[in-house]
Structure 1
Amino acid sequence: MEYNQAMDKLSQVLSAKRFQHSLGVSQTAGELAGRFGVDVQTARLAGLLHDCARNISSDSLLQKAEAFAIVMNDVERCQPVLLHAPVGAFLANTEYGVDDPDILAAIRLHTTGGRTMSTLAKIIYLADCIEPGRKFPGVDKLRRLADADLNAALLAAFDQSLYYVIEQGLLIHPATIEGRNYLLQR
């Protein structure tokens, strides 16, 4: 499916606010891709589709994850919203015709991150954090870091995410810790 076709379809399934966020992530991903040597069109498509399952209810996400044979951990079972990323990767493949494994992995990892992230996956995770519509304390620092050093920006984004999750009293996904530790060990 072409970018514009995916955009038209996505505009029908997401709320207006979520669709605008997806457009912002797509734009930001394209800019980061140009800076860090990734195909811009690939990054824009991954950014556009990263939240294609975000408006699905928690109960439906659990059902879809089971139906799609997505392996879930206890954190995801307790916080099903986290499943929008792996369910979204499945839907990007089956409903939007994306068969590029790098795009699908980037969509799958955009919420939790992980130990082994491609440059595209790092870009999508970061673009989701810093797209123009994001307004939270520390976002400008993340944007400045993203101008120069993708790994430093990703590490700061992991830290920001962990602070937020702890502040909200939510469970911490082990993939985020693994991703952060992996960056620190390099």
Structure 2
Amino acid sequence: MYNTELKERIRNNLKHTLSDQRYTHVLGVAAAARRLAGIYGYDTDKAEVAGLLHDAAKQLPLNDMQTLARRSFGDTLPLPVMATGSLLHGYAAVTVAREIYGIDDPELLASLAHHTTGAEAMGMLEKIIFVADYIEENRSFEGVEALRCIAFQNLDKAVLAGYDSTIRHLLDQGKTIFTGTVVNRNAQIKHLYDLDRKAR
């Protein structure tokens, strides 16, 4: 299903609906997702498609994002997510993937939904897209090189580093922090602790 024809169709559509800068970012995330998938033994084509679709709704007006998100999630999303485009666009992208491209794969849809907020428990593809969004080649924020190094060595540690980077940035900017981000970060710390105990 995740073939060249589908990927080309998505690229052509995004080229007309996203700004040049956002489109370049999306291509970067798709490439990073494919590379991470190869490293960690996941389906590279599926990861690439998820990378292409992760920001499909990013530049829509907030009310359009809300409409799309409700079609897939009803009224289940927290109010801060529904009110904030930077948090909501991944959930809106789920409906884009389902309704425009006929994608109903739960793993892929979850990776779109959670690529910004994360989740308390994430599968492999969710982690790949979450991390790829940080490390794609066009990113240039402070600490990105260190994050890239972590990502290619330990995906779970890279997820935690991603949460830390976001929280640190929001603190530096004096902005509010979505409480779900803190909950998800804490869950990732516990997950790493559990992995460490099993490895002993």
TM-score above 0.5: yes
Structure 2 equivalent of residue 4 of structure 1: 8
Question: What is the CA distance between 1:67 and its match in structure 2?
Answer: 5.2
Query: 1:22, 1:48 within 8 Å by CA — same for their partners in 2?
Result: yes
Query: 1:162, 1:172 within 8 Å by CA — same for their partners in 2?
Result: yes
Q: Runs in 1 of length 4+ with deviation above 6 angstroms?
A: none
* C-alpha distance in 1 between matches for 2:80 and 2:130: 19
More contact order relative to length (CA 8 Å, sep ≥ 6): 1
* C-alpha distance in 2 between matches for 1:176 and 1:104: 19
| Secondary structure, aligned partner of 2:153 | coil
Structure 2 equivalent of residue 76 of structure 1: 81
Alignment of 1:60-139 (within 5 A): 60-66=64-70, 68=72, 69-139=74-144
Please, which moves more after superposition, 58-67 or 108-117? 58-67
Structure 1 equivalent of residue 45 of structure 2: 41
Query: 1:65, 1:71 within 8 Å by CA — same for their partners in 2?
Result: no
Instruction: Report the AA paired with residue 154 of structure 1.
Output: V
Question: What is the CA distance between 1:61 and its match in structure 2?
Answer: 2.1
Query: 2:58, 2:85 within 8 Å by CA — same for their partners in 1?
Result: no
Question: What is the CA distance between 1:166 and its match in structure 2?
Answer: 2.2
Question: What is the CA distance between 1:55 and its match in structure 2?
Answer: 0.8
RMSD: 1.6
Query: 2:170, 2:176 within 8 Å by CA — same for their partners in 1?
Result: yes
| Secondary structure, aligned partner of 1:143 | helix
Match of 2:63 among 51, 59, 67: 59
Please, which moves more after superposition, 166-175 or 152-161? 166-175
Task: Please give the per-residue CA displacement for 1:9-67, whole angstroms capped at 9, x wherever unaligned.
Answer: 12111111111100000000000000011100000000011000001012332343345
Structure 1: segments with no counterpart, 5+ residues: none
Task: Please give the per-residue CA displacement for 1:100-142, whole angstroms capped at 9, x wherever unaligned.
Answer: 1111000000011011111110010100001000000000000
Is the radius of gyration larger for structure 1 or structure 2? 2
| Secondary structure, aligned partner of 2:101 | coil
Instruction: Report the AA paired with residue 20 of structure 1.
Output: T
Whether 1:167 and 2:162 are equivalent positions in the alignment is: no
The percent identity for this pair of structures is 35
Equivalent residues, number: 186
